[in-house]
Chain A
Amino acid sequence: MTDKELNREIFDYILFLLTAARGCVDEPHMYGPLRLVDAASRIIGTYQRVKGVDDEFLNRLKQLIDEKKYIVMESEDEFTRFIDELIAQSVDEMKRRSGVKA
């Protein structure tokens, strides 16, 4: 990815965050968590496009988010459990990367 392409993606990401912030004023309260989870996926997407970067855990996390994020429209409880599961997996990964047993 060139600096120009990265600059464009960061700009788009900033615009997403700003419009999502405005949406949080009026939208259903669970859409805030949805936007943040979606933002995590978008950041990973940008990271994936950086040449030479291939993080297996983050790739799997993004795939999981993209597959399951719409569950927020079926059940707040399930979506909350889904976020907790993402956090649990990420903490396990953090410990693994820190050399601590999960």
Chain B
Amino acid sequence: MSALDAIFKRVTVRHYEDKPVEFSKLVTLARAAQKAPTGGNTPYRRVMIIDDPDTIAMIKKIAPGYLSNAPAAILIYTDLEVAEKGLGRLGRDVCSLIDSGAAAANISIAAIELGLATCFTKSYSEVGMKKVLDIPDNCRTDLLVQVGYPHPGRPRSIKKKPEGNIIYHNRHGVSIND
């Protein structure tokens, strides 16, 4: 499968098969996440694989947005001290968030190649997530990516709003379709 095939095939999935994801595949996804860039090559990004059923159950309890039955998740988070030391406030407050998004995108694309699907979640308690996973105060959790095998009988994916497909050419407001 080409990278472009995977990108255009990707959809958000909230219904998964009731089977675990192989640890080796989760490691591949985590490595794909860490292949994404970081501003100034500053090593502030942290990636955690979560596949212990009890831990997933606890996360679901503090994450109202974890609405799927995904059996695994990958958390992308930032060491704020490392980010600020390396890139200042821009690194801490902006670049690191952008780079976490890039890491999550890598996971979602790599998942397609592995027969998996994903769903991004930010709707969770920051305090709760850090306590469940023993994450220290100097870190900020950025994004949780739910991972699993897509259920073949799942409902249709949510339609992308038309405004979500706008592409301009050379000037703001000039669509490539004009």
Chain A interfacial positions (CB closer than 8 Å to B): 12, 15-16, 18-20, 22-23, 27, 31, 35, 38, 67, 69-71, 73-74
* B64 & A16 in contact (Cβ 8 Å cutoff): yes
Q: Given the complex, which residues of B lie within 8 Å of A20, measured CB to CB?
A: 64
* B14 & A70 in contact (Cβ 8 Å cutoff): yes
Specify the chain B residue showing the minimal Cβ separation from A24.
B64
| Chain B residues within 8 Å of chain A by Cβ, number | 16
Specify the chain A residue showing the minimal Cβ separation from B155.
A67
Chain B interfacial positions (CB closer than 8 Å to A): 14, 61-65, 67, 123-125, 127-128, 155, 158-159, 161
* A19 & B128 in contact (Cβ 8 Å cutoff): yes
With known contacts A38-B64, A38-B67, A19–B158 Cβ distance under 8 A: no
CB distance from A25 to the nearest CB of B (A): 11
Q: Given the complex, which residues of B lie within 8 Å of A71, measured CB to CB?
A: 158
* B159 & A19 in contact (Cβ 8 Å cutoff): no
